[in-house]
Amino acid sequence: MFLRLLLTSFVICNVHSKEDIYDLLSSIGCTSFGNLLQGTGYMYRLGDDHSGPYTVFAPSDAAINNLPPEIVKIFNFGNWELAFDIVSYHITKDISLLASLQNNGLYDTMLENSQLRFNVYPKGNSKVHTISGANITSPDNTATNGVVHVIDRMLYRFPEVYTTQYVHEHQNLSKMSLLIDKGGLHDQLKAQNITMFVPNDEAFDAAPNFNMTNLLMNDTAIARNITVNDSGISKPDLITKNGVVHIIKKLL
């Protein structure tokens, strides 16, 4: 129990340092991300007290250790142009402390024409803060030339597909795709900042007393089933151009 409390305290605390961003990273559990900065040239920019200021969303060492193999190959085989883009996507200009970030706000990154989306979600009596789907586990670690927010996974370039496109392009979501077509909901679901809970095909098949043919004949029922939220989530935080998709395990 003591160890659990100690670890919890470590996650929620923040550091106010007299170091620059690059030197600070090793003090807050982001040494691996600091190593990526060396290979991409950002070490010199973030290690300069007179450069910036910057806000860095730095993946923890655990997050980088759990990278999928296709991303590890990018760094291991010297694709530094792509590696530079990935690192750039974690950095914004100016100082953005957690309290200044706006829910559903979009923030320009150092990667051209790319933005990060900030969200706040309730969780019991507290709140969860995310940046493009990654949890911010240790915010507001200030340095001499900016601030670092530690996150629990690597970020990737913001997708160029809308929520409806995401659904249409995934075979396991074919039945929801059919309902969107039948309900004429494409324009409605292109609105900004939507959260969509999408049952996979297995959820439709497992639903008791469910009749797909009858539902397709009832446009009002289609709209209701698509927009009401309450189910277990099998794949959360699938970021799209205009919001986020959560794939759920059962019909609503």
pLDDT for position 205:
79
- The per-residue pLDDT for 11 is 41
Half-sphere exposure of 219 (CA within 13 A, CB side): 5
**Predicted TM-score of the model (pTM):** 0.60
Identify the pLDDT of residue 53.
92
Distance CA 170, CA 100 (A): 36
* Residue carrying the six token digits 């300069």: 48
Extract the tokens encoding 133: 């789907």
Domains of the chain as residue ranges with CATH: 2-151 (2.30.180.10), 163-248 (2.30.180.10)
pLDDT tens, per residue, the chain with 252 residues: 333 333 333 344 465 558 899 999 999 999 999 988 887 888 888 888 777 899 999 999 999 888 877 667 666 656 677 788 889 999 999 999 999 999 999 999 999 888 999 999 988 888 999 999 899 999 999 999 999 999 999 887 645 567 777 787 777 888 888 877 777 777 777 665 667 778 888 887 777 666 666 655 555 544 445 443 445 566 665 656 666 676 776 665
The neighbour count for residue 70, using CB atoms within 10 Å, is: 7
For residue 167 the two structure tokens come to 């659904």
